[in-house]
Amino acid sequence: MITPTLLALSALALLTAAELSSAPLIKDPGVYGPPLELVHLYYDEFPTGIAVSSTGRKFSNYPGGLDKNDTNNGSNGKYTIAELTGDDRETPFPSAEINSPPGGAINYTTYPPSGAGYANYFIGSQSIVIDPLDRAWVLDTGRVQTPNGTLVPASYGGPKLVGINLTTNAIFQTIVFPTTVAYSDSYLNDVRFDLRPHLSGIAGGKGVAYITDSSSEGRNGLIVADLGTGESWRHLDGSPTVHPVQQWLAYNWGMPLYGTNVGRPLSYLAFGSDGIALSADGATLYWKAVSSRYLYSIPTARLRDNTPNSELLAQGSINNHGQTGITDGMETDTNDFIYHGNLEQNAISFFNPANGSDTLFVRDPRINWVDTMSTTTNGWLYFTVNQLLFGPATFPGTDRRQRPFALFRVPLINNATKPLLC
Ligand SMILES: *[C@@H]1O[C@H](CO)[C@@H](O)[C@H](O)[C@H]1NC(C)=O
Ligand SMILES: *[C@@H]1O[C@H](CO)[C@@H](O)[C@H](O)[C@H]1NC(C)=O
Ligand SMILES: *[C@@H]1O[C@H](CO)[C@@H](O)[C@H](O)[C@H]1NC(C)=O
Ligand SMILES: *[C@@H]1O[C@H](CO)[C@@H](O)[C@H](O)[C@H]1NC(C)=O
Ligand SMILES: *[C@@H]1O[C@H](CO)[C@@H](O)[C@H](O)[C@H]1NC(C)=O
Ligand SMILES: *[C@@H]1O[C@H](CO)[C@@H](O)[C@H](O)[C@H]1NC(C)=O
Ligand SMILES: *[C@@H]1O[C@H](CO)[C@@H](O)[C@H](O)[C@H]1NC(C)=O
């Protein structure tokens, strides 16, 4: 007896090989959302951050802590902060001199070698951010890699927050973190500003900065700096929400990415609290560990509190918003959307606190590792794509990055802009 199944099978068998191989199957389109606009190509040093001022000036940072080839050795002209002065051109900022510590970024007279302890030079910056008054702030980890790829510990003077006036390009403030706030194996990663005067101490009134410590050695936490008094303190060091998830494995373009370390066996990558974003009203701080798929937030009042019970109250006030993919940098707009890379999807998504869910924003095969974002007062989301996980720190330990690295921009949803908390 001929059943319908047999009939179907015999019909299939009548397809020619050519018909079979060209069958019109649905496939991943690979692209989604508004087209990406290419803004800058990085041929020189390996970048991570991007900051765009209200007049359209653009700045990036190049961390010697992530790429030994970015480490200034006193005579190789490497810079850790630059202004993007042409489509493929970068100029050390605010000067070549500040980017070139005497004798280099490493102090070889200590054992083991350590980051040079200069408060008036940049050592290894992981971030540059424009605040709501259009001033630039450089966040220095004080750490870089040696020529064999070893990340040196920081010395006092290295880890700091440096404010630069963009009218004069002059440094107007330097907050050096004490060794009880930035440990020698901390890695100060990213920073956001709320300049509303009522937020900070009586001697202050200049607002606060919130900073992530993404240390691969495990010194993770959130740091608050009072821009008026210059005081700083830590919260959430003991919370799993700022630490890497154990045995975390990321995929990029389908490849699993294990971690390799100089002189150590193959392991898992372990990056802690890294991406950070303030809600549009400044009341909530969002963060993610890179080595985690969970998005967390906390009321900022709990972080600004540094009284005796404040750590208990802080740990009891964390919100878990569920999994939103793998993310490095994050940003906010006046929609109160929290934009974040979604690396395993070659995408950028946004979390909407109003409906508690994550939404796809843009997707493109040119997207690999979305490192850092910057929203602007004229309605753009800028973001760097820097192939971070194709570098020598991931299995098989060969450098698969190909210049140029890229800076893209895309318009914010609903013509939104950068929120200005001041
Ligand atoms: C090192 O950096 C220079 C630019 O500063 C770049 O041209 C070169 O390709 C880099 N080398 C490696 C191995 O990354
Ligand atoms: C610094 O690096 C440059 C370029 O790699 C090299 O020629 C020079 O010898 C180095 N200088 C020191 C002091 O290590
Ligand atoms: C290098 O380390 C030595 C020994 O601790 C110290 O005396 C010196 O000030 C350090 N130099 C810099 C630039 O950090
Ligand atoms: C930058 O410096 C100029 C000149 O001193 C000053 O007028 C201006 O207010 C400063 N800008 C900010 C945002 O502080
Ligand atoms: C790498 O270089 C550092 C600093 O020169 C040295 O202390 C360390 O032993 C070296 N590590 C390896 C695995 O070669
Ligand atoms: C959440 O809000 C965003 C922005 O309005 C919207 O695009 C998305 O579809 C919403 N998601 C859900 C699951 O309701
Ligand atoms: C955004 O602005 C453009 C140009 O001004 C306008 O055409 C468009 O309708 C606006 N979109 C929204 C969602 O407001």
Q: Which residues pair with 129 in a beta bridge?
A: 137
* The pLDDT of residue 368: 96
Of the listed ligands, the closest to the CA of 164 is: 4
pLDDT of residue 177: 98
Tell the residue nearest (CA) to atom 10 of ligand 5. 148
Per-residue model confidence (pLDDT) at position 4: 54
pLDDT of residue 11: 54
* DSSP-assigned states of every residue in 95-143: -TTTTS-TT-SEETTSSS-EE---SSS---EEEEEE-TTS-EEEEE-S-
- Arithmetic mean of pLDDT, 84-88: 96
Interatomic CA distance for residues 105 and 47, integer angstroms: 17
81/202: higher pLDDT: 81
Q: Is 20 helix (H, G, I), strand (E, B) or coil?
A: helix
> Taking Cα atoms as reference points, which of 403, 146, 379, 100 lies closest to residue 263?
146
- Residue range 116-124: average pLDDT? 98
| 3-state DSSP assignment of residue 258 | coil
Q: Cα of 53 to ligand 4 centre, how many Å?
A: 14
pLDDT over threshold 60, residue 391: yes
Residue ranges per domain, the chain? 37-415
Per residue in 172-190, pLDDT tens?
A: 999 999 999 999 999 999 9
pLDDT at 52: 98
Ligand nearest to the CA of 404: 1
Residue 321 Cα to ligand 5 middle (Å): 41
Mean pLDDT of 290-310: 97
Count CA within 13 A, CB hemisphere, residue 122.
Answer: 37
Instruction: Label residue 288 exposed, middle or buried (CB < 10 Å: 0-12, 13-18, 19+).
Output: buried
Residue type at 112?
A: P
CB burial readout 306-335, b (16+ within 10 A) else e: beeebbeebbeebeebeebbbbbbbbbbbb
Instruction: Kindly report, residue by residue over 215-264, the tens digit of the pLDDT.
Output: 999 999 999 999 999 999 999 999 999 999 999 999 999 999 999 987 88
pLDDT of residue 388: 95
**Contact by Cβ (8 Å): 67, 391:** yes
Q: What is the pLDDT of residues 133-186, one digit of tens each?
A: 999 999 999 999 999 999 999 999 999 999 999 999 999 999 999 999 999 999
- Per CATH, the number for 37-415 is 2.120.10.30
pLDDT digits (tens, 9 = 90+) for 33-49: 999 999 999 999 999 99
- Give 336-368 pLDDT, tens digit per residue: 999 999 999 999 999 999 999 999 999 999 999
Give the residue-averaged pLDDT of 299-312. Answer: 97
What percentage of the chain carries pLDDT values higher than 70? 96
> Given the CA of residue 263, which atom of ligand 5 is nearest to it?
13
Atom 12 (ligand 1): residue with closest C-alpha?
69
Residue partners of 359: CB distance under 8 A and separation at least 6 = 349, 350, 351, 352
CA atoms within 13 A on the CB side of 61: 27
Residues 70, 60 contacting (CB under 8 angstroms): no
- CA atoms of 143 and 215, how far apart (whole Å): 11
Q: What pLDDT does 261 receive?
A: 80
* % helix, strand, coil for the chain, step of 5: 10, 35, 55
Sign of CA dihedral 162, 307, 303, 158: positive
Pairing relationship of beta strands 250-252 and 357-363 according to DSSP bridges: unpaired
Residue 5: per-residue pLDDT: 53
Q: So what's the pLDDT on residue 264?
A: 85
- Residue with the smallest CA separation from ligand 6 atom 7 is 359
109 CB less than 6 Å from ligand 3? yes
Q: Residues lining ligand 6, CB < 6 A?
A: 352, 355, 357, 359
Going by C-alpha positions, the residue among 337, 329, 342 that lies closest to residue 368 is 342
Encode 251-266: b = buried (16+ Cβ within 10 Å), e = exposed: ebeeeebbbbeeeeee
Pocket test for ligand 2, best of 75, 79, 108 (most atoms within 8 A of CB): 75
Between the CA of residue 243 and those of 223, 235, 266, what are the distances in Å? 14, 13, 20
Does pLDDT of 102 surpass 90? Answer: yes
| pLDDT at position 10 over 60 | no
User: Distance between CA atoms of 259 and 278, rounded to whole angstroms?
Assistant: 30
| pTM, full prediction | 0.95
Q: What percent of the chain has pLDDT over 90?
A: 94
> Looking at ligand 2, which residue's alpha carbon is closest to its atom 14?
73
The protein residue whose alpha carbon is closest to atom 13 in ligand 1 is 69
| Averaged pLDDT for residues 373-378 | 98
